């Protein structure tokens, strides 16, 4: 596959010079990645066929009788450079959800659709448990598709024609800056030495830095909705060459106030004639599925691990879930009782521990109180500036600090190596958020644990917790029964 002139080398002027700096960043990330010594138990993510489903079209007709994901040969279709980088990242083979995305794009699609009716588009919704490798599930096939379609890429004129406008081939939209940055770093490692240039854009940083990177020309743009719209309106980014649009953590983007911005990106700007949409998340509740139907342009497909489309949520089964009930009926100072329980718990917890609170003000107070007991702890909340957020998260990832207390800015998509324990200081009032929070541990097939502090205030969600534990095969506390 590598025996041809790489079209990415000359897609924009000065590409070789630009990629020297990009590859240096990738080398640093690869060294850091190796220093984690974080084993990926990929075999435990190779689910049985009974747990994997392919649904076709809006009526979600289940395709029966497919022996997937082993039916097709995917490995020979991945460019050799990508294979080498995957091995460095700890993936000797792909996880089941990654195989399914790849198989759908290269094999399954042709079996079930009339190409003449759908203009060769490959729209897909992917739903799988937290930590199953969904980021690489869309990056690997999308990039491999570009390499396989190198003749088409080579016909795209060089950047000199476009002046200072970037014409990306892949656009990834994420709900948070942290997830955008993490996806960018994953892309840099995956695309090391490929001459494919990736740029990340998000609010909280001065626009001119990101603008200069875009002016140099890029193939992949990863960003949050607000900053993307700003650059699209200023024509710094143009979407007429996009081959793949990825909406990551799609349920949050569509259900948490981002739907208008997503619609603006989809409908207010000119797109290429044939581009593919990938939507991914660990949860797709019914109300979000209705929004999915509205934004998709034609028949599309769902790939799922388990029955997670509009059904009761299913948590990561590698996470052992525990609950501790605090009786606050006769004592109004619930916060102090929770702090006492947290301190006792921290005496026996070993390894990296991520603590979640519902309110930003509580995050700061928990950190202050825990610190007063001699524990090193960092904070992560949305109103910190981006530099502080990056440093706080990096200290936790690198193990310089083993305790991090955060708001839900850290609950979605973040892959933090070797988190052994998640503590919910507060139970969220949304079971989907709970599923994403505890999914910060037990990732890539490894085991993890969570403990949630409950009180009378949480009684309205007890029934949902009960059914989640029942479905996940977990022990159910007596007070929930």
CB atoms within 10 A of CB 80: 11
DSSP H stretches of helix in 57-108: 80-88, 96-103
Taking residues 175-197, report their average pLDDT.
91
Q: Label residue 57 by pLDDT band (50, 70, 90).
A: low
Average pLDDT, the chain: 80
Higher pLDDT, 85 or 113: 85
> In this predicted model, which residue has the larger pLDDT, 118 or 375?
375
Give the span between the Cα atoms of 447 and 89, in whole angstroms: 19
The structure tokens listed for 122 are: 């490959």
Cβ 440 vs Cβ 182: under 8 Å: no
Overall average pLDDT of the 102-131 stretch: 64
**Helix intervals (H) in 268-352:** 286-295, 334-346
Question: Would 7-305 and 319-472 be classified into the same CATH topology?
Answer: yes
pLDDT of amino acid 252: 76
Identify the architecture of domain 7-305 in CATH: 3-Layer(aba) Sandwich (3.40)
CB count within 10 Å of CB 160 equals 9
CA pair distance 403, 362, nearest whole angstrom: 15
Q: In the numeric block, which tokens belong to residue 312?
A: 């009761």
pLDDT digits (tens, 9 = 90+) for 92-101: 777 777 887 8
| Residue 431 tokens, joined | 């079971």
- Quote the pLDDT of residue 146: 83
Confidence of residue 403 (pLDDT cuts 50, 70, 90): very high
> How far apart (Å, rounded) are the C-alpha atoms in residues 365 and 371?
10
- Given CATH 3.40.50.300, say whether it is the number of domain 319-472: yes
pLDDT at residue 152, rounded to an integer: 52
| SS3 (DSSP) at 279 | strand
Structure-model confidence comparison of residues 201 and 385, the more confident one: 201
**pLDDT higher than 50, residue 225:** yes
Among candidate residues 303, 282, 252, the one with its CA nearest the CA of residue 435: 282
Domain ranges of the chain: 7-305, 319-472
Are the C-beta atoms of residues 269 and 263 closer than 8 Å to each other? no
pTM of the model: 0.78
Choose between 256 and 208: higher pLDDT: 208
**Of 1, 296, 303, 299, which Cα lies nearest the Cα of 146?**
1
Report the SS3 class of residue 245. Answer: strand
pLDDT digits (tens, 9 = 90+) for 411-452: 776 777 788 899 999 999 888 889 889 888 877 667 889 999
């Amino acid at each position: 596959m590598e025996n041809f002139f790489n079209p990415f080398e000359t897609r924009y002027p000065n590409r070789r010079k630009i990629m020297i700096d990009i590859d240096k960043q990738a080398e640093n990330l690869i060294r850091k990645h190796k220093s984690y010594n974080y084993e990926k138990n990929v075999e435990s993510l190779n689910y049985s066929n009974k747990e994997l489903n392919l649904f076709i079209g809006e009526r979600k007709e289940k395709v029966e009788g497919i022996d997937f994901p082993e039916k097709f040969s995917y490995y020979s279709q991945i460019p050799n450079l990508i294979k080498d980088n995957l091995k460095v990242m700890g993936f000797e083979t792909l996880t089941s959800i990654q195989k399914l995305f790849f198989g759908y794009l290269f094999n399954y699609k042709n079996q079930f659709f009339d190409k003449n009716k759908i203009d060769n588009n490959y729209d897909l919704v992917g739903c799988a448990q937290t930590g199953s490798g969904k980021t690489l599930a869309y990056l690997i096939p999308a990039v491999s598709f570009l390499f396989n379609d190198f003749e088409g890429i080579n016909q795209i004129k060089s950047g000199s024609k476009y002046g200072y406008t970037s014409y990306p081939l892949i656009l990834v939209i994420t709900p948070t800056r942290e997830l955008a940055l993490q996806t960018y770093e994953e892309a840099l490692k995956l695309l090391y030495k490929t001459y494919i240039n990736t740029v990340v854009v998000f609010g909280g940083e001065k626009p001119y830095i990101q603008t200069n990177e875009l002016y140099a020309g890029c193939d992949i743009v990863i960003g949050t909705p607000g900053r993307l719209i700003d650059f699209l309106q200023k024509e710094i980014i143009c979407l007429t060459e996009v081959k793949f649009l990825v909406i990551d953590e799609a349920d949050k983007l569509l259900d948490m106030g981002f739907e208008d911005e997503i619609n603006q990106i989809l409908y207010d700007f000119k797109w290429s004639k044939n581009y593919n949409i990938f939507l991914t998340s660990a949860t797709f509740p019914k109300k979000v599925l209705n929004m999915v139907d509205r934004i998709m342009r034609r028949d599309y497909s769902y790939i799922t691990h388990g029955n997670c489309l509009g059904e009761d949520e299913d948590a990561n089964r590698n996470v052992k879930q525990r609950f501790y009930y605090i009786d606050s009926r006769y004592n109004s100072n619930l916060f102090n009782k929770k702090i006492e329980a947290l301190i006792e718990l921290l005496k026996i917890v070993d390894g990296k521990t991520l603590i979640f609170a519902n309110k930003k003000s509580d995050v700061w107070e928990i950190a202050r109180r825990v610190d007063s007991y001699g524990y090193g702890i960092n904070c992560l909340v949305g109103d910190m500036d981006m530099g502080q957020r990056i440093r706080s998260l990096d200290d936790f990832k690198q193990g310089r600090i083993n305790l991090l207390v955060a708001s839900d800015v850290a609950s979605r998509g973040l892959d933090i190596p070797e988190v052994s324990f998640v503590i919910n200081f507060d139970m969220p009032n949304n079971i989907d958020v709970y599923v994403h929070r505890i999914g910060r541990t037990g990732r890539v097939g490894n085991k993890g644990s969570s403990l949630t502090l409950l009180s009378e205030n949480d009684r309205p969600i007890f029934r949902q917790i009960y059914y989640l534990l029942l479905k996940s095969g977990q022990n159910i506390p007596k007070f929930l029964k």
